Chains A and B, each alone.
Chain A
């Protein structure tokens, strides 16, 4: 009797399609991911139950920690216009290189008089400089007031939209610092703004 031979099958699986899908997804996630920006000071943000998401553009945030304020605005084009506005305001001429450097700058944490020197530094030198924060006080003409004002003007000019402003404050920040900022915003009739919080579930 002839023995029936069962042909042995290869255990290899064709991975080509799986590999294609995996890399397609990988490419998608890499491209859609926004690089996490490094904050100049660490802020431990408080938690709340609100689930309103922040907009991606036409948005400015004020980072408040250790009694300092850092100003930042989304979008390179808006940043450029903002600095041009500030240059007019404080009569400081910026070179095209400095303007370009500013569009890549994540946040402003130095006074306008020091900004020119700060922009001429290399990124490595910048990280070694302790940023004192944007000067802010209770008077009508503080620098933060003009940064916000010029950013709002710039956004209106570039995108024709209202700039949304949000405060990103450290939990342990004392109230007077926050109050100064709220007052500065209210002086230019920004009565509605956001407070950036992390998500918390309601304890029932």
Chain B
């Protein structure tokens, strides 16, 4: 198969007929081919299926006594609505009108960066982000917003229960 016949043909005529010695060599080409095919398969299947985990730390519920008061001026509240849309406002609910926004680098990430540096310049401390997922939001929305906060290097964030007043805000803007 992978070997060429280089013996130069048999002798012409006469002489003793000798039985040819069979070679003990086995052709390994096909075997090596198969082995490398399987190696390729195993390499591709093992390394591509590694899931990653994002750490999520929730505030401790029990220790009510040592909770710090959160200054409203440094707080940004993000409300997660349906259809992958969200709303945000700074300060206390009801006092400032929420802005409707979408995910992505031109959406919430830009806002987070802008407002973060604004608040840092004004108060000298980082922005606190409260995430309030509504019942209509999906798990992917929550993961995406946490990821955006990781990207913009936000250190203080929490997932908080949404209030009925904030659901009203979402309803008004048609994303609930």
- In the assembled complex, 13 residue pairs joining A and B whose CB atoms fall closer than 8 Å, in A order, are A12-B3, A15-B31, A33-B42, A45-B51, A50-B52, A52-B53, A168-B51, A174-B137, A175-B133, A194-B56, A195-B53, A197-B52, A198-B51
Contacts beyond the supplied A12-B2, A25-B35, A172-B139: 4 A-B pairs with Cβ under 8 Å: A36-B49, A174-B138, A186-B61, A202-B151
A69 to chain B, nearest CB (A): 13
In this complex, how many residues of chain A approach chain B with their Cβ under 8 Å: the count is 59
Total A-B pairs, Cβ < 8 A:
159
A163: CB under 8 A from chain B? no
B12 to chain A, nearest CB (A): 18
Q: Which of chain A's residues have a CB closer than 8 A to the CB of B36?
A: 22
| Contact residues of B: prevailing secondary structure | mixed
Q: Which residues from chain A sit less than 8 Å from chain B, CB to CB?
A: 8-13, 15-16, 18-19, 22-23, 25-26, 29-30, 32-34, 36, 45-46, 48-54, 64, 166, 168-179, 182, 186, 189, 191-200, 202-204
Whether A171 and B138, one on each chain, are in contact in the complex, defined by CB atoms closer than 8 angstroms, is yes
In this complex, how many residues of chain B approach chain A with their Cβ under 8 Å: the count is 53
A7 to chain B, nearest CB (A): 9
Whether A29 and B43, one on each chain, are in contact in the complex, defined by CB atoms closer than 8 angstroms, is yes
Known interface pairs A26-B42, A197-B52; A175-B135 also in contact (CB < 8 Å): yes
| Contact residues of A: prevailing secondary structure | mixed
Residue of A nearest to B2 (CB): A12
Residue among B31, B134, B141, B143 making CB contact with A48, cutoff 8 Å: B143
Residue of B nearest to A65 (CB): B139
B6: CB under 8 A from chain A? yes
B140 to chain A, nearest CB (A): 4
Whether A22 and B39, one on each chain, are in contact in the complex, defined by CB atoms closer than 8 angstroms, is yes
- Docked complex Cα distance between A124 and B2 (Å): 47
Q: Which residues from chain B sit less than 8 Å from chain A, CB to CB?
A: 2-4, 6, 8, 25, 27-29, 31-32, 35-36, 38-39, 42-43, 45-46, 49-62, 80, 104-105, 133-144, 146-147, 150-151, 159
Known interface pairs A198-B51, A203-B104; A189-B60 also in contact (CB < 8 Å): yes
Residue of B nearest to A174 (CB): B138
Residue among B4, B46, B60, B139 making CB contact with A171, cutoff 8 Å: B139
Whether A172 and B138, one on each chain, are in contact in the complex, defined by CB atoms closer than 8 angstroms, is yes
Q: Which of chain A's residues have a CB closer than 8 A to the CB of B146?
A: 48, 195
Q: Which of chain B's residues have a CB closer than 8 A to the CB of A186?
A: 58, 61
